[in-house]
Amino acid sequence: MLKAVIAEDEVNLLRFLRRKLEKHWPQLNIVAECTDGQAAFNAIERHQPDVVFLDIQMNELTGIELAAKLPKKTHLVFVTAYDSYALKAFEFGAIDYLLKPFSDARLLQCVTKLKNHLSPKTGQTKQNETIKLTIGTKSWLQPIEEIKAVCAQGRYVEIICENRSALLRMPFKDFLDFVDQQLFWQVNRGIAINIRHLDYVKTVDAKHMQIFLNDLSRPFTISRRFQSRFKNPLVPSFISST
Instruction: Identify the CATH number of the domain in which residue 70 sits.
Output: 3.40.50.2300
Contact 25, 63 (CB under 8 A): no
Please give the helix or strand (H or E) that residue 133 lies within, else none: strand 130-135
In this prediction, residue 181 carries a pLDDT of: 75
Give yes or no: residues 150 and 214 share one domain. Answer: yes
In this prediction, residue 155 carries a pLDDT of: 87
In this prediction, residue 152 carries a pLDDT of: 95
CA 206 to chain centre: 33
Domain count, the chain: 2
In a domain, 241, yes or no: no
Give yes or no: residues 198 and 221 share one domain. Answer: yes
- At which of 118, 138, 153 does a domain end? 118
Give yes or no: residues 148 and 212 share one domain. Answer: yes
Q: Report cis status (omega within 30 of 0) of the bond before 120.
A: no
Strands (E), 58-119: 75-80, 96-99
Give yes or no: residues 96 and 11 share one domain. Answer: yes
In a domain, 110, yes or no: yes
In a domain, 7, yes or no: yes
User: Residue 87 is part of which domain span?
Assistant: 3-118
Give the residues of the chain that fall short of pLDDT 50.
Answer: 121-128, 233-242
Give yes or no: residues 107 and 142 share one domain. Answer: no
Closest CA to 88 of 62, 109, 111: 62
pTM (two decimals): 0.51
For the domain that residue 189 is a member of, what is the CATH number? Answer: 2.40.50.1020
